[in-house]
C-alpha cells in the first residue's frame, strides 16, 4: 500500500499556503492550556503500580532468600541462621534473619524481587509511590534492614495502607 | 527663533537618547518575550519562576551576563577579538536616530531627505563584526560559521535594497517621513507592493540570521557558529546587536509598508494633520500606534522561529540569488510602468495594483480558513 | 591519500544531534562528503556476556536497556525466542497475546513519536519536538498504569504476562486513541506539505531497493524504498494474523518517503489498537500465563526468532545447553546496527548538513547498536 504523497494545487504553491498552515497551527497552540506541572509546588502522583522505593516488613519475611536469587544484579544481601525456638510447647527449627541489606544505588527497580516473594501479602514491595531518593552521599544509599522498614521520615504520599498491599492491585487470581 | 545649537544638536540628541533608552528596554524585554512566547507556541511555559510570571527574568539575565566569568581563549587574536562584538553594535545604535517614531515635529529625531539611504548603508556595515568575531576566535568552526553568516548577510542585502525601490518610485522621496505621509494620503504600501513587502520580510529574516535562515547559529551543525568562543558580556553584545537590528528592521518595515504612525485610508482616519490638532496627545497616540505595529512584527519574527525548519546553506543562497532578486527586479519593472502610466496616460495604475494586492491577500485568507478538503479515501490514512 | 582539497573532520561522539554517542569520521571536500565512516562502541556494556551469567527471567530487564526507546518490543522478542525454544508458543493464552500486541503497538507509536521529535529538531523545526513529547507522555502514563515503569518496562514474562490489566486501563487507551488522530494531523500540518521541509528531505539519502536488500536494511528504511516486507505479515507472531492493517511503503527511497512511511505506520498502529480492545474484552479475566514450570530450563538446542520492532527486524539467537538455567549464548541482531551500515552509501555526495538528516532518518539508538 503506497503512502499518500501530498499534491498541492498550483494556487496553493504560489500563495505559500503550506507555510501559512504551519503558522496557523502554532498560533492556535498559544491559546491551548498547557500540561506543565510545576514541581515542587505541584507534584504528579504516580500510578498505583508504580515501582518506587522498597519497603520491607521483618514480621512477614520468612527468610527464604528467593528475592536474592531472583535479583538480576545481586544487590540483596541476606544472612540467615537457624535457631531452635520454643513454639507451642515444641522445639521448632526456625530461620532468623540476621542481615537484609539492599544496595539501592545499583538497583534498577525491576521488581523481580517483589514478584519472587512467596508470602501473601509480600514482605518486600515497591508500590510505595516514592521516587525522591536523591542524596548527597553515595553511602546513604546502602539500606540495611532497619532503614528499609523505617518509613517515618519519608513523605507519605500514598493512600495505600501500610500493612497490606491490596490484592486488586496486582490482579492476582485466587 | 530657536538657537541653532538647540535645534540641530541638543534637541535631536535628547530625542535620540529617549528613543534609544526605550528601544533598549524593548530589546531587553524581547529576550524574555521571545522565550515566553516560543514556549507558549511549543506547548510549554517559558520562564515563569523568577518573578510574577517570570518578569524578573529581564533583570536577572543582564545581571548574569555582567557577573559571569569572562573567558578569553589564549590563542585568540586580541584586538580583533575585543573589537568583534562592538562593531555590529555601532551601526545598530546609530540607525535609531534616523527612524520616525511618531508625527513630525516632536517624535522624529532627524528628518533628513536621504534617511532611507543612510539606514540601508549603515545596516550593511554590520557584517564586519561577524567576520572579525568568527576569525579572531581561532576556531575552525567559528570561522566557518562567521564566513557563512557574512555571505548570507551580504547576499541578502541586494533584495533588501531592491525591494525598497518600488516604494521609492511610488512615493518619490528617500525621506521616511514623506513616505509615511504618502501612505496616509493613499493606501498602505503593502497593497500595491505586495511582492516587495514579501521580499523585504524574507530579506529581513535573512539579514538578522533568524529562522528559517539561522544556519550559522544552528546548534546541530556548528555548535554556536561565530559566537561560540565568546562568553559573558561579549556574547551579550552580539545578542544585543542582533535584537537591535531586528528592531530597526521592523521599524523600517512598518514605516515603508504599513503606514508608520498613521491609520488612514486615502486621507481618512488618523493622519498627521489630525494628530497635530491634538497637540502632545496626538504625538503620543501616533507613537503608540507605531510601537504597537513594531511589536507585532517582532512577534512575527518569533512566530517564524517557532514554526519553520531551517534552510540548508546552499538552498539559502539559491533562494536569495535565484528567486528574490529576479522577483524584486520584476517588481521594479512593473512599478515603473505603472508610475509612467500614471504620469503620462493619467491612468491610475496604483489603484489597480492595490486592488490586485488586496484581492491576493483576501484569496489567501479564504483558502486558509476554508476548512479541510474532504480527504481522499486512500488506505494509508485509514482512520 | 588525501587530495589537496580534502579535509578529515570528526563528527564527534559529543554532538547535539548524533542521537547518542556515535562518531562519524568524515572526509569532506569543502562541504561535500566524500566518505563517511561511522565508528561505534562508545556505549558497549557487554549485554550479551551478561546474558550468559543470568537465568532467563533475569535477562528480561536487561533487554529493556538495549533499545531504551522501545523496550516492550525488546522484551517481546526475547520472551518469544525462549518460548519458541521451549516449544510452548501455542500454549500462550489469548488474553496474554492480545496484551502483548497492545503493548507492542503502543510502544511502536511512542518510538515513532520520539523519532519524529528528534528528526524535526535536527532539521530545525523546534515545535514538533514538544508536541510529540506531549503525546508520548500520555503513552508513558499508560505504561506506568500497567507495569509501574515508564521507560524500562520489564512488562513480559516467559509464558505470559506478569499481571492482569489494571481496572480502567482499556478506557484510558480508548481515550488516548480518540485524541491521537488529531495530534498526527497537527504534526502533518506543520511538516508534510511544508516546502522547506521538502527541500531538506526530498532526494536526500536515496536507497534503491536492491541496495537496501543487499545491505540488510529492515524496517521503515526498507519499506521506504519500496520493498513490501514486514515481519508482522511475512512471519506472523502473536495474534497478528487476525488483525487487519496495512503496510505502508514508499516509492523513491529518500528521507521524505521514510518520513511518510513512519507517519502512516503510526496511524496503522492506532488501527490495530482499535481492533484489539474489543477482542481482549471477550477473553476471560486472569488467564495470563501458560502452564509452565517456574524454573525455566529449556531443552538443548538453538533458536533464532525475530520480530518487527519499530526500528526494523530485531532478532534473538539463543543457544541453550539444556543443563543450566542460563543461556549458553544469546546473540541479539539489533536493527539499528545493520541499518547504520547503509549510512556511508546514503551519505555519498551530500552536504554535511544532510548528514544530520540522514542519521535521523535511519533512526538509530546507540544502546542497540553497541549493546
**Residue C211: CB partners within 8 Å, gap ≥ 6?**
C225, C342, C345
Q: What is the pLDDT of residue C81?
A: 92
The answer as to whether C54 is a domain residue is yes
Q: What is the mean pLDDT of residues C46-68?
A: 89
The answer as to whether C22 is a domain residue is no
C286 touching chain A per CB within 8 A: yes
Residue with more model confidence, A95 or A174: A95
Q: What is the DSSP letter of C55?
A: B
Report how many domains make up chain C.
Answer: 1
* Contact yes or no for B360 and A2 at CB 8 A: no
Q: Please, which pLDDT band fits residue C1 given cuts at 50, 70 and 90?
A: low
B233 neighbors B80 (Cβ within 8 angstroms): no
C20 neighbors C44 (Cβ within 8 angstroms): no
Res. C265: pLDDT tops 80: yes
Chain A contact partners (≥3 CB pairs within 8 A):
B, C
The chain C residue lying nearest A14, using CA atoms, is C195
Q: Which of B221, B313, B381 sits opposite C267 (nearest CB)?
A: B381
Res. A91: pLDDT tops 80: no
How many angstroms separate the CA of residue A36 from the nearest CA in chain B?
6
Q: Which three cell numbers stand for residue C251?
A: 516509492
Q: CA B10 from chain center: how many Å?
A: 28
C367 neighbors C20 (Cβ within 8 angstroms): yes
Note the CATH architecture for domain A55-169. Answer: 2-Layer Sandwich (3.30)
Q: Which of B41, B309, B379 sits opposite C197 (nearest CB)?
A: B309
**Residues of chain A contacting B363 with CB distance shorter than 8 Å:** 11, 15
Q: What is the mean pLDDT of residues C145-150?
A: 88
Partner C, chain A 71-130, Cβ-Cβ below 8 Å: 71-72, 108-112, 115, 126-127
Radius of gyration over every alpha carbon of chain A, rounded to an integer in angstroms: 26
**Residues of chain C contacting A18 with CB distance shorter than 8 Å:** 193-195
C329 neighbors C319 (Cβ within 8 angstroms): yes
Determine the structural domain holding residue C90 and report its residue range.
Answer: 44-370
Q: Please, which pLDDT band fits residue C266 given cuts at 50, 70 and 90?
A: very high
pLDDT digits (tens, 9 = 90+) for C158-208: 888 888 888 889 999 999 999 998 999 988 888 888 888 988 888 888 989
Q: What is the pLDDT of residue B346?
A: 73
Please calculate the CA angle C37-C43-C47 and round it to the nearest 5 degrees: 120
C134 touching chain B per CB within 8 A: yes
Res. B19: pLDDT tops 90: no
Q: What is the pLDDT of residue B373?
A: 56
Res. C256: pLDDT tops 70: yes
How many angstroms separate the CA of residue C249 from the nearest CA in chain A?
5
Interface of B with A (CB under 8 A): 37, 40-45, 48, 303-304, 306-308, 360, 363-364, 367-368, 376, 378-381
The answer as to whether C8 is a domain residue is no
Q: What is the mean pLDDT of residues B160-185?
A: 87
Q: What is the CATH number of the domain that holds C52?
A: 1.10.645.10
Q: Which of A1, A27, A34 sits opposite B43 (nearest CB)?
A: A34
Q: Which of A131-140, A162-171, B358-367, C111-120 has the least mean pLDDT? A: A162-171
Within 10 angstroms of residue C366's Cβ, the number of other Cβ atoms is 23
Q: Which H, E and C letters describe chain B, residue by residue?
A: CCCHHHHHHHHHHHHHHHHHHHHHHHHHHHHHHHHHHHHHHCCCCCCCCCCHHHCCHHHHHHHHHHHCCCCCCCCCCHHHHHHCCHHHHHHHHHHHHCCCCCCHHHHCCCCCCCHHHHHHHHHHCCHHHHHHHHHHCCCHHHHHHHHHHHHHHHHHHHHHHHHHHHHHHHHCCCCHHHHHHHHHHCCCCCCCCHHHHHHHHHHHHHHCCCCCCCHHHCHHHHCCHHHCCCCHHHHHHHHHHHHHHHHHHHHHHHHHHCCCCCEEECCEEECHHHHHHCCHHHHHHHHHHHHHHHHHHHHHHHHHHHHCCCCCHHHHHHHHHHHHHHHHHHHHHHHHHHHHHHHHCCCCHHHHHHHHHHHHHHHHHHHHHCCCCCCCCCHHHCC
Res. B155: pLDDT tops 70: yes
Residue with more model confidence, C14 or C359: C359
**Residues of chain C contacting B316 with CB distance shorter than 8 Å:** none
Residue with more model confidence, B194 or B346: B194
Amino acid at each position: 500500500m503506497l503512502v499518500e504523497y501530498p499534491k498541492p494545487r498550483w494556487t496553493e504553491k504560489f500563495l505559500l499556503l503550506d507555510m501559512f498552515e504551519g503558522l496557523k497551527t502554532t498560533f492556535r497552540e498559544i491559546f491551548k492550556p498547557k500540561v506543565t506541572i510545576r514541581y515542587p509546588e505541584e507534584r504528579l502522583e504516580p500510578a498505583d503500580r508504580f515501582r518506587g522505593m522498597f519497603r520491607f516488613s521483618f514480621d512477614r519475611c520468612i527468610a527464604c532468600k528467593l528475592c536474592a536469587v531472583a535479583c538480576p544484579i545481586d544487590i540483596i544481601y541476606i544472612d540467615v541462621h537457624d535457631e531452635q525456638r520454643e513454639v507451642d510447647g515444641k522445639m521448632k527449627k526456625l530461620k532468623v534473619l540476621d542481615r537484609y541489606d539492599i544496595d539501592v544505588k545499583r538497583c534498577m527497580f525491576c521488581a523481580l524481587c517483589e514478584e519472587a516473594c512467596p508470602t501473601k501479602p509480600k514482605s518486600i514491595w515497591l508500590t510505595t509511590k516514592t521516587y525522591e531518593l536523591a542524596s548527597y552521599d553515595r553511602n546513604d544509599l546502602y539500606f540495611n534492614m532497619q532503614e528499609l522498614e523505617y518509613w517515618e521520615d519519608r513523605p507519605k504520599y500514598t493512600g495505600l495502607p501500610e500493612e497490606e498491599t491490596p490484592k486488586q492491585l496486582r490482579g492476582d487470581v485466587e | 527663533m530657536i538657537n541653532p545649537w538647540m535645534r540641530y544638536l541638543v534637541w535631536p540628541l535628547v530625542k535620540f537618547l529617549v528613543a534609544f533608552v526605550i528601544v533598549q528596554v524593548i530589546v531587553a524585554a524581547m529576550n524574555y518575550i521571545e522565550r515566553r512566547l516560543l514556549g507558549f507556541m511549543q506547548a510549554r511555559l517559558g520562564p515563569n519562576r523568577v518573578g510574577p510570571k517570570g518578569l524578573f527574568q529581564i533583570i536577572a539575565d543582564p545581571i548574569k551576563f555582567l557577573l559571569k566569568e569572562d573567558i578569553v581563549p589564549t590563542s585568540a587574536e586580541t584586538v580583533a577579538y575585543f573589537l568583534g562584538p562592538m562593531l555590529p553594535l555601532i551601526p545598530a545604535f546609530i540607525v535609531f536616530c534616523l527612524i520616525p517614531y511618531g508625527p513630525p515635529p516632536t517624535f522624529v529625531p532627524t528628518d533628513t531627505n536621504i534617511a532611507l539611504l543612510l539606514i540601508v548603508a549603515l545596516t550593511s556595515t554590520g557584517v564586519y563584526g561577524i567576520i572579525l568575531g568568527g576569525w579572531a576566535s581561532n576556531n575552525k568552526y567559528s570561522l566557518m560559521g562567521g564566513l557563512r553568516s557574512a555571505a548570507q548577510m551580504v547576499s541578502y542585502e541586494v533584495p533588501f535594497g531592491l525591494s525598497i525601490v518600488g516604494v521609492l518610485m511610488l512615493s518619490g522621496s528617500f525621506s521616511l517621513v514623506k513616505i509615511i505621509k504618502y501612505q496616509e494620503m493613499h493606501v498602505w504600501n503593502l497593497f500595491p507592493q505586495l511582492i516587495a513587502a514579501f521580499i523585504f520580510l524574507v530579506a529581513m529574516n535573512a539579514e538578522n540570521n533568524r529562522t528559517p535562515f539561522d544556519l550559522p547559529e544552528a546548534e546541530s551543525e556548528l555548535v554556536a557558529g561565530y559566537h561560540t568562543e565568546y562568553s559573558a558580556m561579549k556574547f551579550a553584545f552580539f545578542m544585543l546587536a542582533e535584537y537591535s537590528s531586528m528592531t530597526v528592521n521592523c521599524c523600517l518595515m512598518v514605516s515603508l509598508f504599513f503606514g508608520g504612525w498613521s491609520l488612514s485610508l486615502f486621507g481618512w482616519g488618523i493622519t498627521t494633520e489630525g494628530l497635530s490638532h491634538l497637540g502632545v496627545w496626538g504625538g503620543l497616540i501616533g507613537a503608540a500606534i507605531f510601537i504597537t505595529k513594531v511589536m507585532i512584527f517582532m512577534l512575527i519574527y518569533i512566530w517564524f522561529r517557532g514554526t519553520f525548519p531551517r534552510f540548508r546553506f546552499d538552498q539559502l543562497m539559491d533562494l536569495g540569488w535565484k528567486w528574490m532578486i529576479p522577483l524584486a527586479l520584476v517588481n521594479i519593472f512593473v512599478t515603473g510602468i505603472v508610475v509612467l502610466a500614471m504620469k503620462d496616460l493619467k491612468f491610475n495604475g496604483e489603484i489597480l495594483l492595490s486592488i490586485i494586492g488586496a484581492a491576493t491577500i483576501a484569496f489567501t485568507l479564504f483558502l486558509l480558513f476554508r476548512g479541510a478538503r474532504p480527504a481522499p479515501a486512500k488506505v494509508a490514512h485509514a482512520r | 591519500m588525501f587530495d589537496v582539497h580534502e579535509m578529515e573532520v570528526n563528527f564527534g561522539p559529543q554532538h547535539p544531534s548524533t542521537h547518542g554517542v556515535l562518531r562519524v569520521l568524515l572526509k569532506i571536500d569543502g562541504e561535500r562528503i566524500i566518505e563517511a565512516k561511522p565508528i561505534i562502541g562508545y556505549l558497549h556494556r557487554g549485554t550479551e556476556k551478561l546474558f550468559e551469567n543470568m537465568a532467563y527471567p533475569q535477562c528480561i530487564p536487561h533487554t529493556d536497556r538495549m533499545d531504551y526507546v522501545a523496550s516492550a518490543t525488546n522484551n517481546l522478542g526475547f520472551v518469544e525466542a525462549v518460548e519458541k525454544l521451549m516449544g510452548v508458543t501455542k500454549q500462550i493464552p489469548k488474553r496474554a497475546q492480545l496484551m502483548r500486541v497492545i503493548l507492542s503497538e503502543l510502544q511502536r507509536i511512542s518510538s515513532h513519536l520520539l523519532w519524529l521529535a528528534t528528526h524535526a529538531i535536527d532539521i530545525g523545526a523546534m515545535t514538533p519536538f514538544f508536541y510529540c513529547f506531549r503525546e508520548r507522555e500520555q503513552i508513558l502514563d499508560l505504561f506506568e498504569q500497567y507495569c509501574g515503569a515508564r521507560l524500562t518496562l520489564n512488562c513480559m514474562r516467559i509464558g505470559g504476562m506478569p499481571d492482569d490489566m489494571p481496572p480502567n486501563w482499556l478506557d484510558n487507551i480508548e481515550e488516548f486513541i480518540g485524541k491521537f488522530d488529531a495530534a498526527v494531523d497537527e504534526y502533518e500540518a506543520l511538516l508534510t506539505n511544508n516546502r522547506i521541509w521538502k527541500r531538506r528531505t526530498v532526494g536526500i539519502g536515496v536507497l534503491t531497493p536492491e541496495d537496501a536488500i543487499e545491505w540488510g536494511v529492515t524496517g521503515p528504511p526498507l519499506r521506504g524504498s519500496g520493498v513490501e516486507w514486514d515481519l508482522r505479515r511475512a512471519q506472523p507472531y502473536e495474534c497478528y494474523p487476525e488483525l487487519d492493517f496495512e503496510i505502508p511503503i514508499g516509492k523513491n527511497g529518500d528521507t521524505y518517503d521514510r518520513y511518510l512511511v513512519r507517519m502512516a505506520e503510526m496511524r496503522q498502529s492506532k488501527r490495530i489498537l482499535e481492533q484489539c480492545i474489543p477482542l481482549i474484552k471477550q477473553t476471560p479475566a486472569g488467564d495470563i500465563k501458560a502452564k509452565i514450570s517456574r524454573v525455566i530450563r529449556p531443552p538443548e538446542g538453538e533458536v533464532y526468532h525475530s520480530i518487527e520492532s519499530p526500528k526494523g527486524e530485531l532478532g534473538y539467537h539463543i543457544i541453550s545447553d539444556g543443563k543450566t538455567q542460563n543461556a549458553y549464548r544469546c546473540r541479539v541482531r539489533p536493527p539499528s546496527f545493520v541499518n547504520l551500515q547503509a549510512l556511508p552509501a546514503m551519505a555519498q555526495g551530500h552536504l554535511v548538513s544532510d548528514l544530520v538528516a540522514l542519521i535521523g532518518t535511519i533512526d538509530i539508538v546507540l544502546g542497540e547498536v553497541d549493546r
